[in-house]
Amino acid sequence: MTDQSTIARDDIRPLAGLRVVEFSQMVMGPTCGLILADLGADVVKVEPPKGDRTRYFKGPAAGFFGTYCRNKRSVAIDTASSEGQAVARRLIEKCDVLIENFRPGLLKRTGFDYESVAGFAPHIIYCSLKGYLPGPYENRLALDEVVQMMGGLAYMTGLPDRPMRAGASVNDIMGGMFGVIAIQAALAERQRTGRGRHIQSALYENNVFLMAQAMMYETVTGQPSVPYSVKDSPWPVYDLFDTSDGSKLFVTIVGEEQWQAFCGAFDRTSWLSDPRFATGQDRVDQRGWLIPEIAKIFRQWTRADLSAVLEKLDLPYAPVNKPGDLFDDPHLNASGGLADIHLTDGRSARTPLLPVSMDGQRLQNRRDPPQIGQHTNEVLNEIGFSATDIAKLARSGVIATTAG
């Protein structure tokens, strides 16, 4: 399988020239590498000769590898062997950044913990993506669900007596993002000092950061936080409504201009002079009466017709979509927000690009998710191994390569 051809339009690669070695698996580490790769860095993913285990996941985790490994090169090395460690060390020496998200202490066994790497590559920006930052919890293992439970997010998402995991790996993904932010800050510092840094990002602290506004609410008001599923809305209309064809729309009417536009369009101009609804806070106080009345109005409309009116009125609204519905989203398709890729089994797929644009252009997919060791020969040749050296390493099982 060959990599996707470079697109005809301008190939925006602000991090071109930056080389990253990624020792990671699952979601958090690969997300960090993906963002750097999409931004143009040369991200070399080191995996064992049998391949990253996420390649073989089934069920809800079946999409991990295809989602987070585009735009990367794969090098397959047996880092449990001394020969493989020597190869990996040589690769690290040629890189600017190292990403790892293995359990605490695991990389020390192979000599690739921060202290060891800093000894032979003091320039390296070493990014550890963990469950917890240094402190009493730092050696605990963590998953997104674990930190959502202990960090308040599951409580705020579910019912009061039934905490619920958010429907995405929010801490893994955002933890990877914060890793990228710190990496770029450390790179800017290295331009002045010439030395690297050990930076860390963690699931638990990421989740706590998400809870900052709820924590501050408790400080400011002296009241306990209430789950979003049952909390009183601070806005006049901020609710989910049924339509006549069995669909649902989330609609907000919060400002004075929005309130006036709604009342005019839906034949409720009498509400504009009703003292019960004189201010936004008055309308909040009357939600018990107001929301059922608005629900009666919206229930007479189909989703399509109601959406068209709300769009014209410039009222924020949203249908309740499932993930699969997003493939047909007109905005994502018209704006180029979904990229065509080829998975390692040959199937075609579409995947969301990074949610940013530069000069109005999205950062593109340049390489499809790689086969195991697809770039082993290529990368080893770049860092000084001869064809004879590479063949010998392959025969001994130290490396693996996939032609293509």
Quick one: which of 377, 398, 376 has its CA closest to 81?
398
Question: Coil, strand or helix: which one is 47?
Answer: strand
Residues 252 and 123 in one domain: no
Higher-confidence residue of 403 and 178: namely: 178
- Phi, psi (rounded to 5 degrees) for 13: -140, 75
Among the three residues 259, 289, 324, which one is the final residue of a domain in this structure? 324
Q: Is residue 81 part of a domain?
A: yes
Residues 291 and 349 in one domain: no
CA distance 253 to 316: 8
129, 201 contact by CB (below 8 A)? yes
Q: Within 10 A of 285 (CB to CB), how many other CB atoms are there? A: 14
Rounded to two decimals, what is the model's pTM?
A: 0.90
Residues 57 and 177 in one domain: yes
**Could you tell me the pLDDT band of residue 213, with boundaries at 50, 70 and 90?**
very high
CA distance 90 to 174: 31
**Could you tell me the pLDDT band of residue 403, with boundaries at 50, 70 and 90?**
low
Residues 132 and 185 in one domain: yes
Q: Is residue 331 part of a domain?
A: no
Per the listing, tokens 């536009």 go with 261
Per the listing, tokens 């449990």 go with 80
For the chain, what is the domain count?
2
- In this prediction, residue 5 carries a pLDDT of 38
Residues 250 and 191 in one domain: no
Compute the average pLDDT of residues 118-133: 96
Q: Which CATH number is 251's domain given? A: 3.30.1540.10
Per the listing, tokens 């030395």 go with 195
Q: Is residue 305 part of a domain?
A: yes
Q: Is residue 166 part of a domain?
A: yes
CA distance 14 to 22: 19
Q: Is residue 38 part of a domain?
A: yes
Q: Is the pLDDT of residue 8 over 60?
A: no
Q: Is residue 288 part of a domain?
A: yes
201, 179 contact by CB (below 8 A)? yes
Q: Which CATH number is 194's domain given? A: 3.40.50.10540
Output the six-digit token pair for 291.
Answer: 């929301």
Evaluate the CA torsion angle 178, 43, 122, 117 in order and state its sign. Answer: positive
Q: Is residue 11 part of a domain?
A: no
Residues 342 and 302 in one domain: no
Compute the average pLDDT of residues 323-335: 93
Ranges 19-28, 53-62, 90-99, 239-248: which has the least confidence: 53-62
Residues 76 and 163 in one domain: yes
CA distance 258 to 53: 51
- In this prediction, residue 2 carries a pLDDT of 34
Domain holding 145, by residue range, is: 19-211+337-400
Among the three residues 289, 324, 359, which one is the final residue of a domain in this structure? 324
CA distance 104 to 107: 8
Q: What is the pLDDT of residues 140-179, one digit of tens each?
A: 999 999 999 999 999 999 998 999 999 999 999 999 999 9
CA-to-CA dists, residue 238 to 1, 28, 230, 384, angstroms? 49, 33, 13, 61
| Beta-sheet pairing, 72-77 with 42-47 | parallel
Compute the average pLDDT of residues 281-301: 95
- In this prediction, residue 60 carries a pLDDT of 86
Q: What is the pLDDT of residues 75-102, one digit of tens each?
A: 999 999 999 999 999 999 999 999 999 9
Among the three residues 303, 324, 345, which one is the final residue of a domain in this structure? 324
Residues 39 and 96 in one domain: yes
Residues 269 and 290 in one domain: yes
Residues 78 and 41 in one domain: yes
Residues 310 and 390 in one domain: no
183, 36 contact by CB (below 8 A)? yes
Most distant CA atoms of the chain, gap in Å: 87
Residues 91 and 184 in one domain: yes
49, 78 contact by CB (below 8 A)? yes
Compute the average pLDDT of residues 97-124: 93
Q: Is residue 216 part of a domain?
A: no
Q: Is the pLDDT of residue 7 over 80?
A: no
